Amino acid sequence: MTAAAACIERDADLMLRVREGDDVSFALLLEKHRRPLIHFLYRMVQNQAVSEELAQEVFLRVYKARLSYEPTAKFTTWLFRIASHLAINWLRDRRNERSQDSLDQTNPDGMQVQVADTSLTREEELIRQARLAEVRRAIETLPPKQRAAVMMHKYQEMGYAQIAKALNCSESAVKSLLFRAYETLRARLAHMV
């Protein structure tokens, strides 16, 4: 058994223990998945406080659904499905109130995400940062479901099947979402090539 498969089984086992009333197992799942979940949500909603609130809501929903949990898919797929739906709903409900902060200026822990390449000159670094900021802005303009698919595909390294389960759609719909998103990004960023 690979380490990844063991990790997947461990998450499902922990959730099954939570279903049986083991709160320590829930704390372990929370500790393990909290940061990646907040980071994903932050990239979706571009607001630190909101990403933390949404993460709390995700784990609250996981806990409330514990009695009906069945390990039919990876635990993370289920977790990110809940997170995606909450983030998309929040974006839809607050479309005009969205923060204008950049996607990667800081991560949920307040640490700078982009690490400067010390081999670059200051001018090269400024150009690189400007390009990254432009890519982030282009991603921010994508429709929420396309943005979620791109974030899961590129940043969470999820496969089509896992993204499909998380977004509650077919794999072909995920491929279509990603195709449209990448085509839009290519068109918006063509001048950078």
Intra-chain end-to-end CA distance of the chain, in Å:
43
Domains in the chain with CATH codes: 3-192 (1.10.10.10)
d(CA 70, CA 154) in angstroms, rounded, equals 28
* pTM: predicted TM-score of the whole model, two decimal places: 0.59
Structure tokens at 61: 């929903």
Q: Angle CA(30)–CA(34)–CA(36) in degrees, nearest 5?
A: 140
pLDDT in tens, the chain (193 residues): 555 555 557 888 999 999 999 989 999 999 999 999 999 999 888 889 999 999 999 999 999 998 888 888 788 888 999 999 999 889 888 764 444 444 445 555 555 554 444 456 777 777 888 888 888 888 889 999 999 999 889 888 889 999 999 899 999 999 999 999 999 999 988 887 7
Core vs surface per residue 24-53: b (16+ CB within 10 A) or e: ebbebbbebbbebbbbbbbbbbbbbebbbb
Asked if residue 35 lies in contact with residue 25, where contact means CB atoms within 8 angstroms, the answer is no
Q: Which amino acid is at 144?
A: P
Angstrom distances, CA of residue 181 to CA of 20, 56, 97, 153: 42, 29, 23, 11
Q: Angle CA(105)–CA(108)–CA(110) in degrees, nearest 5?
A: 65
